[in-house]
Amino acid sequence: MLSGHGRSFARARVLRVLAIAAVLPVAVFAGPSAAFASITTPVALGVATAIGASGTTITGASWAAKPAHGTPDGISDASLDGFPTDGSTFAVLTTGDVNDAPTANNDPGTGTKLDDFPGLNVRGDKDFDVSILKIDFTVGERMNCLSFDFRFLSEEFGPPTFTSAYNDSFIAELDTPPNTGWKTSGSSIVAPNNFAFDANGHPITILSLGDTSMSAAEADGTTYDGATQILTANSPVTSGAHSLYLSIFDNGDQLYDSAVFLDNLVVGHAADPKVQCVKGAEPKGFDLALAPATGTHPVGGSHTVTATVTDLDGGAVAAGKAVVFAASGANTAAGTGTTNASGQAAFSYTGTAVGTDSISACYDVNGNSACDGGEPFASVEASWTAATSATPLPGANDVILPKTGRPVGVIAGIGGLAVLLGAVAIFLVRRRRVERVIAE
């Protein structure tokens, strides 16, 4: 990593080289590719699908903005710096070449290549190499919280005296038309609708502080000099159709690249959304999976869900940890389970009303028997149907028909009436025969 003075000199040197190159003949050099085999560059819908978790209904995707040249964005199906956090793929958005992301960090200024075509300003006067991915999705009736995992990485990482003028950023907006979204003005970023912000309400940038600050250690395994820890962004959401806008851009100039890893886009049900689904970005410490995703039972039956809690390395949490459960909808129920040696805790309840329930569970990290902000949670659904009526037993006055063994009261339709009349006719014929024999 270069010092602030050294990197300032490197930036000036690159600017001079770019100026000279503009008036010289262009030479194209063929060399070994730095691309990593796991990186692919599908259309927008492919990138969006890589971000979406199972059960999230993505209806479409498009690029609201993207540099005209190069391959800044793509997906990976190989593990990189803690990703994927769900499934087998995740998305990578960059301000340079997406194929640089998994390469060794042996270039102090990834993105300074002469063939790097700067993307023009999109929103303001200092944003460059802008990628904005629009993801269209629908939210179910009982769902109320949107969340996704991300990590912001950058070659701009360094002393504040160097980075303050080159404050690359990642921004997430929900249902925000382009003309009312974020904008740049000099080194400032105005983003009133951003919900992936730090503790001070600012976008995630090189200068983010506290739990969202960057460090060299968090960028291990990538080409970047610094990164945040794995973060989760939350936003309340209502049922219906929505659009999520995920933006990354260089701020100040287009030279040193930044990136964001994205995964585990979930639309779920928070038992207490005002506490569990507060806007902002927070560190991700654990994962909680809840199964089965759906279930259907007759009223009076029982439904059981199992929560599995793991750390970010995939290891099970210790036995005896509390998981808080709550069901709401047609039925209400609540309870607390404790994890076993596999990090699993179960919860069962009985449905007494027809309809659908949302069942949520959270890992009670602080042990206060409640679901708090920052504690991982997940939700599933259960449906309850009307109980089927049992076949009635024969009454004292019911006529039992031959072979069927059923009372007259349970026979319905023309076929049943025909059987009844036939049986009566046979009975009458036999009776007359008996009377004739007696008379003779």
Which DSSP string do the residues of 312-371 spell out, in sequence order?
TTSPBPPTT-EEEEEEEESS-EEEEEE--TTSEEEEEEE--SSEEEEEEEEE-TT-SSS-
How do strand 302-311 and strand 286-291 relate by DSSP bridges? antiparallel
Tell me if residue 10 falls in helix, strand or coil. Answer: helix
Tell me if residue 23 falls in helix, strand or coil. Answer: coil
Tell me if residue 97 falls in helix, strand or coil. Answer: coil
- Please state, rounded to an integer, the average pLDDT across all residues of the chain: 82
pLDDT tens per residue, range 159-170: 654 556 788 999
Determine if the peptide bond prior to 84 is cis (ω within 30°): yes
The pLDDT value given to residue 404? 46
Residue 279: other Cβ atoms inside 10 A: 15
The pLDDT value given to residue 394? 53
Please check the confidence at residue 408 and state whether its pLDDT lies above 50. Answer: no
pLDDT tens per residue, range 264-273: 999 999 999 9
Distant-in-sequence, close-in-space partners of 380: CB < 8 Å, separation ≥ 6 = 290, 291, 292, 293, 294, 295, 305, 358, 359
Please check the confidence at residue 298 and state whether its pLDDT lies above 50. Answer: yes
- Percent of the chain with pLDDT strictly greater than 70: 76
178 or 351: which carries more pLDDT confidence?
351
The pLDDT value given to residue 387? 83
Please check the confidence at residue 428 and state whether its pLDDT lies above 70. Answer: no
CATH architecture, domain defined by 286-385: Sandwich (2.60)
- Residue ranges of the alpha helices (H) in 109-195? 160-163
Residues forming a β-bridge with 381: 358
Alpha-carbon span 59 to 240, nearest angstrom = 12
Please check the confidence at residue 175 and state whether its pLDDT lies above 80. Answer: yes
Q: What does the DSSP 8-state code read for residue 124?
A: B
Residue 136: other Cβ atoms inside 10 A: 16
425 or 420: which carries more pLDDT confidence?
425
- Percent of the chain with pLDDT strictly greater than 90: 64
Distant-in-sequence, close-in-space partners of 391: CB < 8 Å, separation ≥ 6 = 406, 410
Residue 388: other Cβ atoms inside 10 A: 6
Residues forming a β-bridge with 184: 124, 189
The pLDDT value given to residue 163? 53
Domain boundaries of the chain, sorted by first residue:
4-283, 286-385, 399-432
Mean pLDDT of 323-332: 98
Tell me if residue 12 falls in helix, strand or coil. Answer: helix
Q: Which residue has the tokens 């009372």?
A: 407
Nearest to 360 by CA among 281, 267, 279, 298: 267
Phi, psi dihedral angles at 234 (to 5 degrees):
-120, 150
The pLDDT value given to residue 233? 98
The pLDDT value given to residue 106? 84
Its pTM stands at: 0.80
* 3-state SS string for 191-232: CCCECCECCCCCEEECCCCHHHCCECHHHCCCCCCEECCCEE
pLDDT tens per residue, range 184-232: 987 789 999 999 999 999 999 998 989 999 999 999 999 999 999 999 9
The pLDDT value given to residue 396? 52
Contact 74, 41 (CB under 8 A): yes
